[in-house]
């Protein structure tokens, strides 16, 4: 089984439910978690996540600390990735990741680890970089507009989804709709802060955390003028399907159906 865990950023440090789930799926107290902090401009990001995973019961957590492209894929890094049961990519600027990793041995080892069943996850920029085509820049707003999204190559763990983070908090519905309208075969996954979309075998998506995951399915789009609009004008799209899912909800990409757990309202 392959598992991607895309986290929308701003993880609650007092109740890190999404990191607890990452640690559990990586193997719990027997997990070997490798942290990639390069997207962050802060020098202590790697140590922060090492300490956090230790507090969550992971005995073996290790950060690969380097900032130069020529250092990517050194023998010690390769050994660590080959032994990892979980790989966690920190947030920051996703283009730092593509510039440092793209075309290197490190990138090849990351993809190899994922294919052998190592859990791969990331928060914020670390979520965006997971897809083959990532959103690397753009503008917020509820309406899709020409030029509202800039695309860049990601690491390519999946070509079926594109991930957008800080979704509700930064009002990114319009830009994700625009992204899907440009290629209706890709499922848009908008992830709120402190929330994760857990993708199993590129089919099942399970939601974990305090917010929501917004799925934008464009496969039934009947009409759009996205290819004809210029000058940052609004884009028309018809027949989109949108799901808004919360903790423990599941989306099945094969049937395109959702499972929402039954809840009972407690009334005193």
Give the active site residues.
124, 166, 193
Q: What is the DSSP string of 154-169?
A: ---SBSSEEEE-STTT
C-alpha angle with apex 25: 22 to 26, nearest 5 degrees? 80
Cα atoms in the Cβ-side hemisphere of radius 13 Å centred on 19:
28
* Contacts for 73 with CB less than 8 Å, ≥ 6 apart: 104, 105, 106, 107, 108, 109
Provide the edge-to-edge strand list for the sheet that holds 241-245.
Answer: 161-164, 187-191, 213-217, 241-245
DSSP state of 1: -
């Amino acid at each position: 089984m392959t598992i991607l865990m895309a986290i929308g950023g701003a993880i609650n440090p007092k109740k890190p439910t999404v990191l607890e789930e990452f640690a559990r799926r990586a193997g719990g107290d027997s997990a070997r978690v490798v942290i990639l902090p390069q997207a962050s401009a802060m020098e202590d990001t790697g140590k922060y996540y090492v300490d956090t995973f230790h507090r969550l019961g992971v005995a073996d957590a290790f950060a690969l600390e380097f900032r130069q492209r020529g250092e990517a894929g050194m023998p010690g890094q390769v050994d660590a990735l080959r032994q990892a049961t979980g790989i966690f990519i920190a947030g920051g600027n996703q283009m730092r990741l593509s510039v440092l990793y793209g075309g290197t041995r490190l990138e090849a080892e990351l993809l190899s680890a994922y294919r052998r069943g190592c859990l791969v996850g990331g928060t914020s920029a670390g979520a965006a970089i997971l897809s083959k085509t990532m959103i690397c820049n753009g503008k917020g707003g509820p309406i899709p507009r020409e030029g509202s999204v800039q695309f860049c190559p990601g690491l390519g763990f999946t070509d079926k989804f594109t991930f957008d983070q800080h979704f509700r908090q930064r009002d990114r519905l319009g830009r994700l709709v625009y992204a899907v309208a440009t290629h209706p075969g890709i499922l848009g996954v908008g992830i709120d802060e402190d929330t994760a979309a857990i993708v199993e075998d590129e089919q099942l998506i399970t939601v974990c955390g305090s917010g929501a995951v917004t799925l934008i399915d464009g496969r039934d789009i009947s009409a759009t003028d996205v290819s004809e609009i210029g000058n940052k004008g609004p884009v028309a799209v018809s027949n989109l399907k949108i799901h808004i899912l919360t903790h423990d909800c599941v989306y099945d990409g094969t049937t395109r159906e959702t499972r929402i757990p039954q809840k009972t309202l407690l009334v005193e």
